[in-house]
Amino acid sequence: MSDRLKIVMAQLNFLVGDIGGNAQTIIAAIREAKEKHHADLIIFPELALSGYPPEDLLYRPDLHERIKNVLPSILASSLGINVILGLPWKEANQYYNQAVVISSGKIAYRYNKQKLPNYSVFDEKRYFTPGDSPCVVDIHGVKVGIAICEDLWFPEPIAALKQAGAELIVSINASPFAKGKINKRVEVIAQRAIETRVPIIYVNMVGAQDQLVFDGGSMILDDKGNVLLYINNFNKKLEMSEFKLKKRIFCIAGDHPFSKTSDVSLIYQALVLGVRDYLQKNHFSRALIGLSGGIDSALTLAIAVDALGKNNVEAIMMPSRYTTTLSLKEAEAQAKLLGVQYQVLPIEPIYQVFLKTLSPMFTNKPIDTTEENLQARCRGTLLMAISNKTRALVLATSNKSEMAVGYSTLYGDMVGGFCVLKDVFKTLVYQLARWRNEQSPAIPQAVIDRPPSAELAENQKDEDSLPPYPMLDAILEKYIERDESIESIVQAGFDRELVLKISKMVDRNEYKRQQSAPGVRITEHAFGKDRRYPITSGF
């Protein structure tokens, strides 16, 4: 018997509901762990077999039938290696978020997750029954304690594993990305290792599922909380490590340090992965973007090209009577710079027809935002027609600041199958654009430098209707991200009338946001499952 336990961490990408496909991914990884790495143990993420989160698919009997049907193949492939695998399990009309330990081709142990998150995007108490006891298993003479994701964020389950004799703790996870979370995650896991004086293996899922992005970041920490091995975020990988049986310490080959990375870099990578997986997992191969010559569509185009490749992205410029020469010039320049297919479709003839058709209804009524929004809706109609004809998914370009205050047109610039910047404030849009250009030229500098404008009226600027974006985003950060009261925001130094105006705009436009396309979640207060506000409300 070897004096070392060879362990493979499987940081992989799974598709919710694709039980057969996920099983094949698991079997292929088991085979590689055995044949290439000669491993004793392979560890998969939380709910790897079903993907995370399966949501109401858990209520379908056929989901559980499929799980039972593929398990024999997984068990057969695991002969000669131990496997820790996450899956949902139904028993006696109860559902469990479960980790199974497979040994000698059989399920030797089952552990049910104890701490079920029920906040933010998580609804686990809706579905699962919590476990009530620790699980410590013997693998090659090492007492291995099993934890699942949220268990690790509380001291009690991990202390119970220590009490039960665990010499090594394995935590399987489906922990989604959010700004600032990666550093916090490392700190929490390190604290658990220090509290118990037990090394921890943390294996996280990678990939995107609807609005969620799972960043991976699987790691090994020693019993002092030091990170010995860290798998790069947003990458699929099988990573090998060795645990010395006699000394009960890890032997790590190569240099795998954890270093803090800027939020801007991580957010950009999350947006790219979110776009790539959303399109590919929903069977779209191409993306379509209305390119306006402004910063939001320019950043969306750069992200799409990085996610899908230039040959799979098409940009459409749809000028109106108010579109400036600068917009036309810079949109074309960026399309050439990134090498995407580019078309110009003027909307003026369509706009004129709409105005003529509506003129009997608009008689004696002054020109207002109706005529502005009509231009955006002309563009939205064209984009959706091209999408229908070419099977390219339209990427909406609204940012979080606009979505918050309703500075976007329902059925106009909000149309699309996916909204890349939905959780990105305008000030962050500029930071991301600058960061992307530092990697290689992608966005013309003139687009970054110009004052933002919807170009729906003569000489229009966003600041005609909104405060400067740094001020707007600071207020929105407090009101949306931190749920601060009006009084609290005013006491922080903001004008009361302005705060009241912005808060009313946010509350009044809930009906718009709930009709918007899903988008990549990069904060813990994204528009979507993080924020479940009533549309009809007197608050």
Which residues carry out catalysis?
46, 113, 149
Q: Report the Cα–Cα distance between both ends of the chain, in Å, rounded.
A: 68
Contact of 308 with 284, CB cutoff 8 Å: no
Residue type, 99: A
- For residues 176 and 182, give the distance between their C-alpha atoms in angstroms, rounded to a whole number: 10
Residue type, 35: E
* Structural Rg of the chain based on CA atoms: 26
172 φ, ψ (degrees, to nearest 5):
-100, 140
Say whether 49 sits in a helix, a strand or coil.
Answer: coil
Contact of 19 with 50, CB cutoff 8 Å: yes
Contact of 220 with 199, CB cutoff 8 Å: yes
Residue 243 φ/ψ region, left for φ over 0, alpha for ψ in the -120 to 50 degree band, beta for the rest: beta
Q: Does 53 sit behind a cis peptide bond, omega within 30 degrees of 0 on the bond before it? A: yes
Contact of 109 with 136, CB cutoff 8 Å: no
Tokens of 404: 């918050």
- For residues 274 and 127, give the distance between their C-alpha atoms in angstroms, rounded to a whole number: 25
Query: How is residue 3 annotated by DSSP?
Result: S
Pairing of strands 219-221, 200-204: antiparallel
Contact of 184 with 194, CB cutoff 8 Å: no
Contact of 400 with 424, CB cutoff 8 Å: yes
Q: How many helices (H) and strands (E) does the chain have?
A: 17, 20
Say whether 290 sits in a helix, a strand or coil.
Answer: strand
Residues near 518 by Cβ (< 8 Å), separated by ≥ 6?
210, 211, 278, 418, 419, 422, 528
Rounded to the nearest 5 percent, the helix, strand and coil shares of the chain are 40, 20, 40
Q: Does 61 sit behind a cis peptide bond, omega within 30 degrees of 0 on the bond before it? A: no
CA 43 to chain centroid: 23
Query: How is residue 237 annotated by DSSP?
Result: E
